[in-house]
Structure 1
Amino acid sequence: MSGATATTAAAPPGLDLEKLYAARLHATRARPYLATALFALHVVESHRVPTMAVDPYWRCYASPAFVARTPVEELASVWVHEVSHLLRDHHGRGDRLAKRLGEDGPAWRLRVNIAADCEINDDAYGDGLIAPEGAVAPALLNLPAGRLMEDYVRSVHVNPHDPYVAWLDCGAGADGLARPWELGPDGGHGLSPQERDAVRFRVAEGIRGRPGDAPKGWRRWAEDALHPPQPWREVLGAALRSALASGGAGEDYSYGRPARRSASLPGVVLPSLRRRPPRVAVVVDTSGSVSDAELGSALLEVAAIGKAVGGRRDQVSVLSCDAAAQAVQQLCRAEGIELVGGGGTDLRTGFAAALRARPAPDVVVVLTDGQTPWPTAAPPCRTVVGLFPRPARAREWDPDYRPDQPPDWARVVTIG
């Protein structure tokens, strides 16, 4: 009997769900735009997690001892901190960063975790939320505020054997490295990728609906969530391939290989319909408003266009244009293309020169910053515009001002 009593006394305390849920309600009142995400988390009791942590499947692991000794107000801040890791996709970004830099392992992932904490904590607290004890903020590491995890990780240096850093472990949801105490992809109560995206979208809509209530970091996140930046090289390549594959472009009859229908007509040779490589005219904006770096990027795109037409560089012509069209050059190597210009901008002359070429191009690709007048009528071929980004501005009082937006008949892709 005494042994049973001793065993009962030694048993660890259970998780105080009532206190934990009260803290979540407090977090929801302080940050109403995060309510959908906070209530999407499934709580898992764990005696192995140091404090609270999340995995990529939206499970929140909570230590009963940590919940018992932490005030409700501070637990509310921890709720917000943990769900922020998931909303900002720190696990996915950590994986992509590890692949890009060739770094991995627990020590490096710990740096990612701390860098992600810095991204969250620089503007997470105040206005109803207190900073949790030991929270890592950029100022604590003498780093500037308002940066992203990818910027902070290069400046974070920690000793993985320091006992203090164990309390900073926010789980795989913060850095992408699976922990032994996590349930993994096959565990119960995880959200599917579609459900996770739906939660992010609802939160982003809530922030956009009440922008004055959210810090700058969250407003920036919501804008990216609702309007994610396009992988512009892939989009430009897809737009070019779509233009090259358009119906009727580059088709012609040839007697080089007779049509199979000739067998049904003895003594008659019928031509077959053959697709020749499409002809592409590339107009590069070389005006003074285009930087050397952007011209270098334009040459990279010219090389990619050569590959897109199956390596037939003789089918690609390059034309430099500022206020006047310069000489047309055939593409041999991108490095051998001479881009001439530096004056004002009028790409209408570049369009006219490209369309005068014989044989006429099937596709016109324009690489420009958009500070130019455009042709009033659509060319008789497909047009793809690679647009170097410029800040929006309006100068109606300036007689030299030109609208930035290309016409509707062009397929536009923002470069960079």
Structure 2
Amino acid sequence: MSGPVRALSGIELDAFRALRVVAGESMPYFLHALFAVSPVAAPGLGTFAVDAHWRLYMDPDLLIGPARWSPVEGGAALLHEVNHLLRDHAERADALPIPRSHIAFNLAGDAEINDDLIAAGVRLPEGVVTPSALGLPDGLLAEQYYAALRKAAEAHPDLLAGMDDGGPGCGSGAGTSAVAGELPAPQIDGNGPGAGVPDGTGGLSAAAAGMVRRAVAVAVQEYGVSKGRGTLPAGLERWAASTLAPSTVAWTRLLRAAVRRAVSAAASRTDYTYLRPSRRRVAGVVLPAMRGRQVRVTIVVDTSASMGAEDLAAAMGEVGGVLRAGQVSRDRVRLLSCDAETGVPQKVASVAAIKLVGGGGTDMRVGIDAAMADRPAPDVVVVLTDGYTPWPGQPIDARLICAVITDGSAQCPQTPSWATTVTIPRLPGRDAA
């Protein structure tokens, strides 16, 4: 760096705005993000870079100097840096195992971005990082490119060092090293600069950045609808869909926790048994020993037409994983299928044997009653349903977990207040079976 980071001068700001126009013409659905970044001057940087707070660091020489980039080159660089922010490469890099290679992730992030820019018709400078330049296929995520690069580096230790051009990289907003003189975090509300931050360069808070991502994702999908199928890069369509899709992390964590707590609570109960006398000795009296309960779990599955096979499999996978981790053996797990046509619960051996049928209107009370009538009775009952069913009016003699798979488009009957309820969002783009 040949000088401190500062606000852009008037002529530099005009040059940036010109590049923003070029970038917006190439990818109009990115306009919201292009106007959200806070441009700053970073003399001597030699490139463009971003930080995690949506500040865009630009070498003034590339804007107005003798070696300034052409509008096409500058617009492409601007789109590249904005993509790092939209794809949240900073947070994704933080999720990688330690130690982390900044060089490898910078290359991986560039590869994830540049194949989509090329597919969108953006004219990138010669020599930019692309999947083909790394010897890898198009269309992968940065994490996948990163894993491939790290694996290759294990066989060839000097590989990553040879790929390092000595430049500053794309900045902390790209999940790599911060540029020299990077500004501190903005105020909490993101509306003004903090201490030591030039006016007009406050950046965005995490919440504001999330809103920008969603706005751009909506614009991407609307553009695809208006222009027709195949007009958007596949990776960009995937990003927009995942950004707007309901998070599936929360429900899996909640379902696992609910099943784990129910199984642990049931296992903590103890019974008296005379099969093994107690170690306590009382003259003339044989005392029973305490024996832990062998937990039994019954899973009741709604097989109405509105249930989705892949949603059901995902939920069953979570339940099954928890039961295995809790050492609940298969012989103590029963699976009942509530047939929508007959209303008669049927025992099935596995998820693959479950057949989703038409009819609707399943009464899951029948399945719950059948589970409780079985002998020995279960300690935990897990119901997988779309929620369109009446529920028992009184608590049952087992812990009840209601896993409701829904897209949220209609109001389902309220689950019992004494039961544990986990809402599972239907997988994006999946129709009911």
Q: TM-score, normalised by structure 2?
A: 0.61
CA RMSD of aligned residues (A): 4.5
For this pair of structures, how many residues does the alignment match?
324
Q: Secondary structure at the match of 1:155?
A: helix
Structure 2 partner of 1:9: none
Shift of 1:24: 0.9
Aligned identity (percent) is: 32
1:325 aligned onto 2:353: no
Q: TM-score, normalised by structure 1?
A: 0.63
Structure 1 partner of 2:381: 364
Structure 1 partner of 2:3: none
Tell me if structure 2 keeps the 8 A contact 1:20–1:72: no
User: Aligned AA for 1:302?
Assistant: L
Q: Take 1:90 and 1:103, find their aligned partners in 2: how far apart are those partners?
A: 17
- Would the alpha carbon gap of residues 153 and 415 (structure 1) be closer, same or farther in structure 2, given more than 3 Å must change? farther
1:222 aligned onto 2:233: no
- Would the alpha carbon gap of residues 297 and 240 (structure 1) be closer, same or farther in structure 2, given more than 3 Å must change? closer
Q: Take 1:238 and 1:340, find their aligned partners in 2: how far apart are those partners?
A: 23
Structure 2 partner of 1:353: 370
Q: Secondary structure at the match of 2:335?
A: strand
1:235 aligned onto 2:254: yes
Alignment of 1:126-275 (within 5 A): 129-156=122-149, 159=159, 161-162=161-162, 165-167=165-167, 169-185=169-185, 188=197, 189-211=202-224, 212=227, 214-231=232-249, 232-237=251-256
Alignment of 1:294-313 (within 5 A): 298-302=319-323
Tell me if structure 1 keeps the 8 A contact 2:103–2:176: no
C-alpha distance after superposition, 1:350-383 (max 9, x if no partner):
5443132589879631469x9xxx9964344554
Q: Take 1:220 and 1:163, find their aligned partners in 2: how far apart are those partners?
A: 28
Q: Secondary structure at the match of 1:154?
A: helix
1:18 aligned onto 2:14: yes
Tell me if structure 2 keeps the 8 A contact 1:321–1:345: no
Q: Take 1:165 and 1:152, find their aligned partners in 2: how far apart are those partners?
A: 19
Q: 2:60 aligns with which of 60, 64, 68?
A: 64
- Would the alpha carbon gap of residues 375 and 183 (structure 1) be closer, same or farther in structure 2, given more than 3 Å must change? closer
- Would the alpha carbon gap of residues 352 and 325 (structure 1) be closer, same or farther in structure 2, given more than 3 Å must change? farther
Tell me if structure 1 keeps the 8 A contact 2:300–2:368: no
Tell me if structure 1 keeps the 8 A contact 2:109–2:142: yes
Runs of at least 5 residues in structure 1 that lack an aligned partner in the other structure: 1-12, 245-276, 308-312, 327-338, 390-404
User: Aligned AA for 1:353?
Assistant: A
Shift of 1:318: 3.0
- Would the alpha carbon gap of residues 148 and 340 (structure 1) be closer, same or farther in structure 2, given more than 3 Å must change? closer
User: Aligned AA for 1:191?
Assistant: L
Tell me if structure 2 keeps the 8 A contact 1:284–1:318: no
Runs of at least 5 residues in structure 2 that lack an aligned partner in the other structure: 1-7, 187-195, 264-292, 304-308, 338-344, 357-361, 416-421, 428-433
Tell me if structure 2 keeps the 8 A contact 1:46–1:64: yes
